[in-house]
Structure 1
C-alpha cells in the first residue's frame, strides 16, 4: 500500500505507517482530528513549537511534556503511541512534516486536494466554507483547507493548491505598487 502514497522521506515513512495503522483501526478521521489539534497547538504556542524543534530538550522532557499535552487534548491512544515513538526515535522535529504528510495521504485516499491558505487574520467557518466552494468550482475536486495566520500579510489571502499559488495579500499589492512607483520615477 505504501507505494500508493504521495509522500517520501522520514516524514513520509512515519505518516504512511500511522495512516496504515489508523486505516486498520477505522480511525482515519479521529487520527486526522488529533493531528489537526496538535498542529493548531504548535501554531498557537511558540513554547510548544520550540519544544518540537529544539534539540536541547531530552527525549524524556519532550515525552513528559507531550504526554501531558495529549492527555489534556484527549488524543487517541494511537496518536499518543505514535508521538511517543517519534520522540523515542528523536524525530520530534519532523512532526509538523509528518502531520502534513498524513493529511496528504488522507486527501489522496479521499480524492481531495489540499489548499494551504495563509491569511492576515483567522478565518471564520463561513469564510472557510465559501473558500472551499470556490476552490471546488475552480479545481473540480473537493478541497481540504489548511489555514495558517501570518499578520505580516496585512490583509487578503495567499492560497496554494498543488503547484498553483494565488497571492491576493495586501503586502504583495503594496510591494508591487512600491516597485511600480520606483520604475516611474
Structure 2
C-alpha cells in the first residue's frame, strides 16, 4: 500500500483576516494512488486500458445479446402500452356508466323529494265551510219544494198519530204506500 498523502485545505476568510490552514485531512489509498498516478493491476480501471484479442469477439457477442434484449424490451413495451390503452378505454366506459347512474340517481332523489302542494284554507274547519254554503244559499233564490214533499208534510202528522212507535224508515214506507193508494184512486176517478 502506498503512503497516505496529506492535502492542506484552507478555510474561507472574512474581510480583514488572514487565511489559516485547516488540519490536514487523511486521504484514502485510492485517492493517493490517483494523485500519484499509480493504478493497481487488479482494478477494473486497469483492465479497461489493456485490450485483448479474445475480448473483441466476446464484446460483439455481448453487443448482440444486448440488442436482442433491447428488441424484447421494445416488444414488451408495445404490449404494455396496448394493455394500458385497453385499460384506459375500460376505465373511460366505466366512468361514463357511473356518470349515467349518478344522473339517474339524482333524478330519483328529486322525484322522492317532490311534495305536491295542496292549498287548504287555514283556520276554516268543516263547520265553517258548511256555514259558508248555507249563507250562499240564503242569499240566493230558494227553489220551491216538490209536490211529493209538500204532500208528505201534510200527511206526516196523520200517519204519526196512527203509528206512534214507527221510526223514520217505517214512516217513509207508510207515506209511500198511502201516496200510492191516493194516486190509484185519482187514476180511477179519471
Q: What TM-score results when the alignment is normalised by the length of structure 1?
A: 0.19
Q: Which has the larger share of strand? A: 1
Structure number with greater Rg is: 2
Q: What TM-score results when the alignment is normalised by the length of structure 2?
A: 0.19
Q: Identify the structure with bigger relative contact order (alpha carbons < 8 Å, sequence gap 6+).
A: 1
